[in-house]
Structure 1
């Protein structure tokens, strides 16, 4: 497969992440160096330097195609996409050909250098010479409307697997490669040569425990910290390269420009672990504030000014290039304290404070105040523990509970059972969708629920089924935040199904007003 438009078409047709990676690898195997760089550049969400307004082309389409305007409008009503309508309606040239991605980019560059009056004529001539699939891709590229059919995380995974480079190297490649200047072979040699720079340590996790089983024995053997509600990361600084690697497996350095200054205060060969938190007036904010910037391609200055991010550092894994994970926690914290002290007046990195307690009862009272600090609970760590997670315990706040009605269901890939569900809450005598989740149900329940869905489907939308609103479920979640994207006006943090309430009727489900009260109480 050496056609980028064919690759894009196939990526949009399949849902399996593994199959998408296979398709991308096949394309990389059969393409030129220049096409490879441009494909990765575009698929990872980066744009061409200038975009073209399609309006002028649309206005003369009836003349170019020799078709009445009403017929073109009817075609557009079906596709809802002007670029697709143009690519299908323009006359087919018997001498049309397929062009490589590099050739397509060259055409786009030529157009960008023309005066506005000559752009349209050049675009029309190009479109006449290429086939419908390439027409569509070309229009998407020059109008800035191209959308990748594969996410950046899967692209990086495919690169890492194919070229035997670290996953961080693959992410860095996607952000740094310049198709105008770079050669993929040279870049890959650089990342293989500097494997140590672009590597992280495995994240360790505290074990979730209930309070009763933990609060016994000598409490003097433990250190306690807040369980911050932020983005858990490793900040890596080696050979002048600052990298911020998230526990979810993504390179997020560019999302936090205010943290670039950390490189001025860290010694070479330093890896710090902590949580990135958004702040306002010195107070940690809800995770949803931080989440907004993670969804943006470019972080505006207004966001970093209004809600600056800082690193709450709670461990140090590498110091002066040495792996110190086996050191006792108390020794690692002494080193960490000396590192964070260097930037103490910069408001970009803080040492995670220890919670003072002299009894388990006192610690239980501290835990109950976690929500007031926008924290999820507390973490206990043995004073002499290595960085392994074996002697770390997580004491979480009790989840919020809400009873909701099942409204929509979707099958998992290659499964006959429905396992992805959308739920509703009552508002003005109607059910409003407010969250979507999966998991939490055993196989027996899933089979019974799937049978109900098959017998009580109201509408079908592709793989999605609108279900007769009769089943009530208990939903647990860790937090709530405002959302302008959803009709309900809210989004839940980590929603999951706790159980199916077979004994409850739909009218016994919760009200949206209850959730909004919870939202307002947290502001």
Structure 2
């Protein structure tokens, strides 16, 4: 555990990506199996411990110090793991921590009733660095500047293998990755993935800007509608089938009505949507099916799942990703011709009429105000299917965001590098002379604006609730968002999709902020 804690600490304080890769390579080289494999799993966030919850950590901390001292410290530090690591008394038990492998094994196997006692024992044995690493391990909230994709790049560098090969086999391997390391070190063959259900890393698009629009030749691109659902991948083999999100999360259990549709040996890329008797529905209907532990027959009947097919990545064991888009599209149509289903649709291609510009086409598509469409997709005819977000191949051209002038109500400290600043904001709108919160945002501003906002919040605080400050109602944010829908989960009765700060209106009096009725009107005019 000591070596793993030292690795996390070094990664946190190292800013150069090349230096981070070097740190990881040294760790992989100097650490034996299975410890390095479990460390890799933690870094790549492929482990989870459902019983390891933040309230339990707070309860343990408040056994050690008065609640008010913990709250003040948490407010000042802004990160729970940092706060506990600093505040927990040193030297309660002069015994070394167990190794990383043993700790992970215990986290996975001990009864829930013993979890709290075991964590207390570990914290009592740990040094400050080890406490921090232990809590990061348990919560899965590392925030050390290392993404899952970066980890794969480090593995590719370590084993002198193409990144695409790592991407290809990653989701068919599992902790502690001993077979993977054997291959990377030349001691064994690449992991056999032929019989496994594995996720193919998705290809993503770039937002289309004015410069791109000026330079591209529309005749070189296929044009589709951009549907407003959730990007998914359907994988079907002789023995297994599954549905995965764009990040590789298995959501098969949540959509059994869609999963049963697929047969044969195929990997399909597309959009998860809701389709009823009237056609495709808005994202709001899809939300009724998300994040549910149990899916009832009634729910599936009310919100039947469907998939809009974009691409075919593999068919009958043949990897098609190297083919240009126009060839994959033809194969997708061939597959669909022999595998039709009521809850599968091929994304239709849109043909530009003579003299019609892309701008005119976009305006026409958006003027239809279809609840499931949010813009256009442009895909180069010659584009292979490449993992990540390669430039120049695919573009997304979404409708302009909706805007509302809202009043800042609360601010909370951020995490990681933002833990010293108030960077998470709750804002509200007027209703009958009172302010109702309508959403939160923590993006859309520059570092310079963040520093200024942080100072303003500190100077205009009227009340504190742990790491949250209530501020004077004196500052307006112009908030951008993609959509607004009714919501029974929020006091305001509405929910914004992807809210972010568009502008900070230092100049605008709060009397000119919008009312909640403005959002209701937007919903009614959709």
The two structures have a TM-score, normalised by structure 1, of: 0.63
- 2:36 alignment partner in structure 1: 36
Offset of residue 313 of structure 1: 1.6
- 2:374 alignment partner in structure 1: 376
- Pick aligned residue for 1:251 from 248, 252, 256: 248
2:475 equivalent to 1:477: no
2:403–2:480: 8 Å Cα contact kept in structure 1?
yes
Question: In the TM superposition, what whole-angstrom CA distance separates every residue of 1:331-364 from its partner, at most 9, and x where no partner exists?
Answer: 65443222123332262x3211356897859967
Instruction: Find the aligned partners of 1:333 and 1:171 in 2 and give their Cα distance.
Output: 21
1:2–1:27: 8 Å Cα contact kept in structure 2?
no
- 2:273 alignment partner in structure 1: 277
Instruction: Find the aligned partners of 2:232 and 2:99 in 1 and give their Cα distance.
Output: 39
- 1:149 alignment partner in structure 2: 141
Question: In the TM superposition, what whole-angstrom CA distance separates every residue of 1:467-486 from its partner, at most 9, and x where no partner exists?
Answer: 65444343332202456776
2:263 equivalent to 1:264: yes
What does residue range 128-207 of structure 1 map to in structure 2 within 5 Å? 130-131=125-126, 146-150=138-142, 154-164=146-156, 166=163, 169=166, 173=170, 176-179=173-176, 185-186=181-182, 200=201, 202-205=203-206, 207=208
- 1:515 alignment partner in structure 2: 519
The two structures have a TM-score, normalised by structure 2, of: 0.63
Instruction: Find the aligned partners of 1:490 and 1:9 in 2 and give their Cα distance.
Output: 42
- Segments of 5+ residues of structure 1 without an aligned counterpart are 62-70
Offset of residue 376 of structure 1: 0.8
- Segments of 5+ residues of structure 2 without an aligned counterpart are 72-79, 385-390
2:340 equivalent to 1:344: yes
- 2:226 alignment partner in structure 1: 227
- 1:99 alignment partner in structure 2: 98
Q: Secondary structure at the match of 1:425?
A: strand
- Classify 1:89/1:453 alpha carbon distance in 2 versus 1 (closer, same or farther; 3 Å): closer
Question: In the TM superposition, what whole-angstrom CA distance separates every residue of 1:4-45 from its partner, at most 9, and x where no partner exists?
Answer: 56667889x889896998887776555432223444556636
Offset of residue 234 of structure 1: 5.9
2:404 equivalent to 1:402: yes
- 1:506 alignment partner in structure 2: 510
2:168–2:200: 8 Å Cα contact kept in structure 1?
no
Q: Secondary structure at the match of 2:2?
A: coil
1:88–1:132: 8 Å Cα contact kept in structure 2?
no
Instruction: Find the aligned partners of 1:222 and 1:109 in 2 and give their Cα distance.
Output: 49
2:303 equivalent to 1:311: no
Instruction: Find the aligned partners of 1:160 and 1:318 in 2 and give their Cα distance.
Output: 22
Instruction: Find the aligned partners of 1:152 and 1:308 in 2 and give their Cα distance.
Output: 40
Offset of residue 279 of structure 1: 3.8
- 1:335 alignment partner in structure 2: 331
Question: In the TM superposition, what whole-angstrom CA distance separates every residue of 1:135-193 from its partner, at most 9, and x where no partner exists?
Answer: 9799989xxx93123279945234312221647956975785255x9655347666577
Q: Secondary structure at the match of 1:150?
A: coil
Q: Which has the higher contact order (CA 8 A, sep 6+)?
A: 2
Across the aligned residues of Structure 1 and Structure 2, the Cα RMSD in angstroms comes to 6.1
Instruction: Find the aligned partners of 1:222 and 1:279 in 2 and give their Cα distance.
Output: 28
- Classify 1:172/1:470 alpha carbon distance in 2 versus 1 (closer, same or farther; 3 Å): farther
- Classify 1:468/1:396 alpha carbon distance in 2 versus 1 (closer, same or farther; 3 Å): same
Offset of residue 507 of structure 1: 0.6
Instruction: Find the aligned partners of 1:415 and 1:93 in 2 and give their Cα distance.
Output: 30
Instruction: Find the aligned partners of 1:438 and 1:128 in 2 and give their Cα distance.
Output: 34
